[in-house]
Structure 1
Amino acid sequence: MSPRSWLAQASQVSSERCHAALRLTLSCLIMTLLFLSLQIPFLAVAIIVVFYVTQKNVVLTAGIGLGFIVVALFALGGMLLIIKYTYDYPLIRLVASLFLFFWAMFFMRVLGKLGLAFFVVALVLIYAQTFPSMTGESEIIVRLILWLWMSMVVAIGVTVLVNACFIQAYPHYQFAQQVADLYEQAADRLQPTQSLKGQAGTLIAEHLSQIQTLLTLASLTNSDFQKNKESWRSLSNMAIRCVELSESYRLNPEKNDPTHATMLAHYFRQLAERTRQRQLSPPSSLTIVARDPLLVEMTRLCHCLTDGQSIAAPPGEIDKPPLMAPDAWRNPVYLQFALKTLLASLLCYLFYTATAWQGVHTIMLSCVIVAQQGLGATYQKAGLRIVGAFAAAVAAVGCMVFIQPHLDTIVGLLLMCLPIFALSAWLAAGSERIAYAGIQLGFTFALLFLSGFSPMSNLTELRDRMIGIVLGVVIASIIYLYLWPDSDAPRLRENIARLYRQVARYLAHPSQQATPLPIYDSLQQATALATRLRAEPLASTTHPYQEAARWPINQSLALAQQLALLTTGYRYYADNEDPFLKDTATWLEAYAHYLAHGGEYPVQTIAAPTAHNPYAPALEQALCCLTAFHTTQEVRDGA
């Protein structure tokens, strides 16, 4: 990538993150001003609601916010009923709350994206258990519950209003930026001297589902997109196709037609600039007569766009995740997950009540917050929670000791909180590996330093809440590791097997127009599982899949993507009678079966290409690089 292009893309990514961080920071500062000025309690709860409700665009933010309000209303209403009828019977109250908590955690696990609503229910149920221990007055408890719901409503309202003030938060703006980025990537792949940002399969997987969602939302909220929806759809379909074709051209060792490739790259950059400005009129018509089949196909797509023809989406269905896990009522893993979280929360609650230690009420929240699908995700979130909490504690102590004594106005308080909220927002707007640390930094700082309506001066409260966070994380982590450890290793192996099965189907497909979109979707899922698996304590003697540390995961995922892209280029040079791809598909089916079920490693029996094909050597080399995924028994036997 040229320095100018690299700086442009880096600036775009940084700009998107800056705008997201700015929206989060403004929301947090406005919440601080409102809550402290009007003496509304539960500022920390409002801050964490801001972070969870804020989505990539304002439409999703409003939808998630409305869902939060409804779910919180039902959860707190149920809690009020429980307290009303069981206030004088603490054991019955506890049993009823834990029963609801158990099913909230169960549905959080089996309902996918909708599980976030039940995560809120679980948090509310476990947080409300601390109210009866704070006071013996039932009226005060009812007021606390009502104020808790009100704080969430105010936080959601402020968040939606703040996001609505930025054009960068609207779907039509984000759609245009993402499509333009794809055209820039296609242009960079046509330049042989460019260094690239990721592989095409990864880029398509990241953008595909987002672009489809953004186009739907943009057509609902923007009249221009509604009138020209098919034209915008054709523009995005062509961008996805051109990224794939340009990456296949880049992998061609012969690099035919470099002059025409440069002309196409210039055309794509012009198209990217117009798309960023949300202009549908394409650049002037191309006068390219390319010889390379891939460049010919890209030129044909450009002519179709210039002539106003509709460009269909690349063939290939991507499986949409079901609303509920298909094996929700058969697989015991989901019940075990709910039971483990319930046990960890109950142990923390018993410690909290037995010691009468009011300051460590955060111990129970930690058990719910770190409860994630898979052992790796749980440990990753636990580590981020502790790091974020300690950073917040350091910031709170620094503000309390060195800055707070010199302040006497609300403006000074907001200026003091600005750097902490800005840092937490910047981290939360980053990648998933660090985002939760930012959420914890903002939430814990508000919990430690902004929990009252007067200057904080008691370091004991800060110490107690930090102890509660650490104890809760430690107890939950131990239970998740030793009681039914839910490793992502078998799921990852199954996903990689499915990935290679899809690669085999793509190779065996007779049509030249076939595209590997399902492969890229499976690749994204497998990559996410691999990231979570690396966070698992594989070196622990109690881990059931210690052999996963030796699996060639990164190599296998990279080879699957490379095979798909090389196959795309191979098709444009292959004869109809060429048996190479079909034989390769048969062997990959056997390899996928081996990954899924074990057994003997399949022997390669692949015929040579019938004619010269520039992609054949790279395909053969990639196939030779595929290696075995050893099981525990094979590792012990020295395989």
Structure 2
Amino acid sequence: MASLAGDVSAPGPREIVKLLAPFPGRTAIVTRIALICALTVLVTSAYGTPEAAISAYVVFFLNKPDRVTSIILPIALLVLVTTIVGIVMIFAILCINEPALRIASMALLSFGLLFMTSASKLKPVGAIVAMVVGFGLDELGLAPVGEAATRGLLYAWLMVAIPVGAAILVNLVFAPSPRRLAGKSLARRMRLAARRLNGTATDAERAAFEACLREGDHEINTWLKLSKVEGTSTQDDFAALRQASASTTAILIATDLAASEPGARLPDACAAKLAQTMEQMAAMLDAGGYPVDVAVDLPETASNAPLAALVLTDLRAALEHFAEPAPEAEAAKSAPAPAEHAPARGGFFDEDALTNPDHVRYALKTTAAAMFCYLLYQQLDWSGIHTCFITCYMVSLGTTAETIEKLTLRIAGCLIGAVLGTAIIVFVMPTLASATELLALVFVGAWLSAWVAMGSPRIAYAGMQIAFAFFLCVIQGPAPGFDLTLARDRAIGILIGNVVVYLIFTRVWPVSIASQIDTALKALVAQWTRIAHAADAATRRALAAGALAQYGELRQNLGVIHYEPSWVRPAPAWIASRRRALAELGAAEGPLVLTAGRAGAAADARLRALAQRIDDGEEVNARTAPANDNAADSRVSALLDIIDARFGQIALEARAAEISEDLSALKETRPDARP
């Protein structure tokens, strides 16, 4: 954890292979998505509904790993789309015979829905709803007659209703329960910790261990809450498994310190015994239960070294009280406050919905891009490129860095999907003789696309675009199609939409991700300050899990900042200082958790020094802090020394990086001395 963070470049071929490697649950959700896509195409083919490719693409937004969310989300989206279509019908009465008024209504509704996409809980599906509204109003222009217009709006509703129905059916039968997913995830954490502790972990397992450490426990706790809703967990099971989730966080942190610091390393016999206990507990979790009354009998060779003894104490306590929830009074007293960077819970709109101009600007920019593309293909009378209109809603995001990153992935995915779709039209379609064979082809294409889309965020959007381009090329009607012109036009439309969004989002009110990074960094420092003062284990573990997840999000945001154009991106010195601050936070994680409640003043001094460097970039010496009341505790002193040593190493790396950049700049600007 002592290296500079956030230096994340575009993935190379070797890294892409790693990102495409299987992980637990990936095959299951990918197969479900492919099956739902095939069923969606089957229904659209049977009833001859238009835009079957978009219906198949909507499936990618409806599925989550667990059964409950994968049913609730489609139902909520269908209710929302039904409401929106009802509103569109009201507008249709007023503007069915007035093209100018229809376009104005399209822009107005698009702006309103995109504003809510940016400033409310509508964010996950808002862009899809805006696209459906635009499609519905566009259908009015194609059929400006009452009955035909009503049929067009019905088709817009069916475009979402068909995949929703297929998703609910498949997920009811095949999706795993949230209780099972929570148990499997806890078991995986225990196995990875066991192999990391005894030194048998492979490179892939070490990477998976780091990923588990950074993901926090939010997803597991959400699954546990959903298991109560579903009825697969009793109140006692819920409390025990929630405590198990917190215990795994403590186990991961202590294991990481033991594996990365020589002074904290446990003797081989002791580590082997702990790893064996973890493996046995993982087997119980995999079987659907959870371990209770855990007894850890360690050999007499347990280390007396201060750091190793502290790690051993923390690991032993987490294992022996693995699924023993704290008493209700203590749990209520120690419940952590929500993170500072998190939106207020309970409200539909974000706290800054009416004060932050970026919400309005995002809605205006996306609407402007979509309406430009709409007018472009209408004026050119080239309806084949209407996908440029749809693409604008799919690629636009709140900041310039995120938009360009996703746009780059989408362009790459579009080219891959278009080439794949075109090759299938030329070489495979002529051999197909029935709709059944078309469904099999859709299943295979959806499976491959979903495999990419359900992976790392670094490549997920490419998978979404591969699916989009593939479906638009291959699904041309209720039977196999052979029109290469249609595939060409739709691919051109996608590329036009991407270019228009790029130009608008980089030239008109560009929003750097820098402000988000600074806000999140300050919130993370405040979170670790609270952890340093947390006296009880329950509070410390809950806060630490959130802080670890925040670190992962910050690292990703710093990694995508290089996508921003030079006129939007902050200065190199700003980026370097934030990378250093994030690296220092990562270096202090394990020691701060283990010293929590015992090194308040000393820990505060180091965090204040870090916060001041974020504010003004000055070097601040944390050693000038007042002496810690518990300085006599050799274990606490040893952990603080680890923080100082890691900070020193990071400072050396930062200075080396600055010198390297200065030398590179000097070489570039050196005058030519030749005669």
Aligned to 1:426: 451
SS at match of 1:40: coil
- Cα distance change, pair 265–544 in 1 and its aligned pair in 2 (3 A): closer
Aligned to 2:364: 339
- Cα distance change, pair 78–286 in 1 and its aligned pair in 2 (3 A): same
Do the aligned residues in 1 keep the contact of 2:605 with 2:622 (CA within 8 Å)? Answer: no
1:104 aligns with 2:117: no
Of all paired residues, the percent bearing the same amino acid is: 23
Do the aligned residues in 2 keep the contact of 1:97 with 1:125 (CA within 8 Å)? Answer: yes
Q: Cα deviation per residue 1:223-282 (whole Å; 9 max; x = unaligned)?
A: 454553223233323222222222233344232444223211110110001101112344
1:618 aligns with 2:642: yes
* Deviation of 1:306 (Å): 8.5
1:466 aligns with 2:491: yes
Amino acid at match of 1:415: A
Structure 2 Cα separation of the partners of residues 494 and 256 of structure 1: 38
What are the equivalent positions in structure 2 for 1:120-199 lying under 5 Å apart? 120-166=128-174, 169-192=176-199, 194=201, 197-198=206-207
Aligned to 2:87: 78
Amino acid at match of 2:611: A
Of the two structures, which has the highest relative contact order with CA contacts closer than 8 Å and spacing of 6 or more?
2
- Cα distance change, pair 509–593 in 1 and its aligned pair in 2 (3 A): farther
* Deviation of 1:439 (Å): 2.1
Structure 2 Cα separation of the partners of residues 61 and 307 of structure 1: 31
* Deviation of 1:145 (Å): 1.4
- Cα distance change, pair 396–299 in 1 and its aligned pair in 2 (3 A): closer
Amino acid at match of 1:373: G
Structure 1 residues 404-413 or 176-185, which shifts more? Answer: 404-413
- Cα distance change, pair 262–614 in 1 and its aligned pair in 2 (3 A): farther
Aligned to 2:99: 90
Amino acid at match of 1:530: L
SS at match of 1:457: coil
Amino acid at match of 2:648: C
Amino acid at match of 1:422: W
Aligned to 1:295: 312
1:526 is matched with which residue: 547, 554, 557?
554
1:267 aligns with 2:295: no
* Deviation of 1:527 (Å): 2.4
- Cα distance change, pair 14–498 in 1 and its aligned pair in 2 (3 A): closer
* Deviation of 1:50 (Å): 0.9
- Cα distance change, pair 124–202 in 1 and its aligned pair in 2 (3 A): same
Do the aligned residues in 2 keep the contact of 1:341 with 1:476 (CA within 8 Å)? Answer: yes
* Deviation of 1:300 (Å): 3.4
Q: Scaled by the length of structure 1, what TM-score is found? A: 0.87
Structure 1 residues 222-231 or 491-500, which shifts more? Answer: 222-231
Structure 1 residues 419-428 or 225-234, which shifts more? Answer: 225-234
2:611 is matched with which residue: 581, 584, 592?
592
Do the aligned residues in 1 keep the contact of 2:435 with 2:480 (CA within 8 Å)? Answer: no
Aligned to 2:8: none
Aligned to 1:602: 620
Q: In angstroms, what is the RMSD of aligned CA positions?
A: 3.4
- Cα distance change, pair 559–13 in 1 and its aligned pair in 2 (3 A): farther
* Deviation of 1:193 (Å): 5.7
* Deviation of 1:16 (Å): 1.0
Structure 1 residues 343-352 or 297-306, which shifts more? Answer: 297-306
Aligned to 2:527: 502
Structure 2 Cα separation of the partners of residues 548 and 334 of structure 1: 29
Aligned to 2:67: 58
1:237 aligns with 2:246: yes
* Deviation of 1:72 (Å): 0.8
* Deviation of 1:70 (Å): 1.1
Structure 1 residues 251-260 or 152-161, which shifts more? Answer: 251-260
- Cα distance change, pair 346–11 in 1 and its aligned pair in 2 (3 A): closer
- Cα distance change, pair 215–308 in 1 and its aligned pair in 2 (3 A): closer
Amino acid at match of 2:552: Q
Do the aligned residues in 2 keep the contact of 1:27 with 1:50 (CA within 8 Å)? Answer: yes
Do the aligned residues in 2 keep the contact of 1:106 with 1:337 (CA within 8 Å)? Answer: yes
SS at match of 1:485: coil
Report the count of equivalent residues.
615
Do the aligned residues in 1 keep the contact of 2:189 with 2:209 (CA within 8 Å)? Answer: no
Do the aligned residues in 1 keep the contact of 2:71 with 2:172 (CA within 8 Å)? Answer: no
What are the equivalent positions in structure 2 for 1:296-311 lying under 5 Å apart? 296-305=313-322
Structure 2 Cα separation of the partners of residues 342 and 548 of structure 1: 35
Aligned to 1:440: 465
1:582 aligns with 2:590: no
Do the aligned residues in 2 keep the contact of 1:172 with 1:222 (CA within 8 Å)? Answer: no
Aligned to 1:493: 518
- Cα distance change, pair 192–249 in 1 and its aligned pair in 2 (3 A): same
Structure 1 Cα separation of the partners of residues 473 and 266 of structure 2: 63
Do the aligned residues in 2 keep the contact of 1:345 with 1:367 (CA within 8 Å)? Answer: yes
Do the aligned residues in 2 keep the contact of 1:500 with 1:592 (CA within 8 Å)? Answer: yes
Aligned to 1:6: none
Q: Cα deviation per residue 1:107-160 (whole Å; 9 max; x = unaligned)?
A: 10011x432343232111222343244344442232121022123212111112
- Cα distance change, pair 397–16 in 1 and its aligned pair in 2 (3 A): same
- Cα distance change, pair 12–298 in 1 and its aligned pair in 2 (3 A): farther
- Cα distance change, pair 365–176 in 1 and its aligned pair in 2 (3 A): same
Structure 2 Cα separation of the partners of residues 622 and 92 of structure 1: 64
Structure 1 Cα separation of the partners of residues 260 and 474 of structure 2: 55
1:119 aligns with 2:127: yes
Structure 2 Cα separation of the partners of residues 413 and 75 of structure 1: 32
Amino acid at match of 1:236: S
* Deviation of 1:177 (Å): 0.7
1:45 aligns with 2:54: yes
* Deviation of 1:508 (Å): 5.2
Structure 1 residues 248-257 or 151-160, which shifts more? Answer: 248-257
* Deviation of 1:619 (Å): 1.5
* Deviation of 1:350 (Å): 2.2
Structure 1 Cα separation of the partners of residues 476 and 178 of structure 2: 36
* Deviation of 1:215 (Å): 0.6
- Cα distance change, pair 84–474 in 1 and its aligned pair in 2 (3 A): same
Structure 2 Cα separation of the partners of residues 547 and 304 of structure 1: 47
Amino acid at match of 1:37: A
Structure 1 residues 23-32 or 394-403, which shifts more? Answer: 394-403
What are the equivalent positions in structure 2 for 1:375-394 lying under 5 Å apart? 375-394=400-419
Q: Scaled by the length of structure 2, what TM-score is found? A: 0.83
Do the aligned residues in 2 keep the contact of 1:59 with 1:171 (CA within 8 Å)? Answer: yes
Structure 1 Cα separation of the partners of residues 424 and 292 of structure 2: 55
Q: Cα deviation per residue 1:486-515 (whole Å; 9 max; x = unaligned)?
A: 110222133223323433443455668744
Do the aligned residues in 2 keep the contact of 1:420 with 1:442 (CA within 8 Å)? Answer: yes
* Deviation of 1:622 (Å): 1.9
Structure 1 Cα separation of the partners of residues 572 and 241 of structure 2: 48
* Deviation of 1:191 (Å): 1.8
Aligned to 1:28: 37
Structure 2 Cα separation of the partners of residues 470 and 284 of structure 1: 58
* Deviation of 1:554 (Å): 4.7
Structure 1 residues 435-444 or 205-214, which shifts more? Answer: 435-444
* Deviation of 1:485 (Å): 0.6
Do the aligned residues in 2 keep the contact of 1:424 with 1:438 (CA within 8 Å)? Answer: yes
* Deviation of 1:32 (Å): 1.8
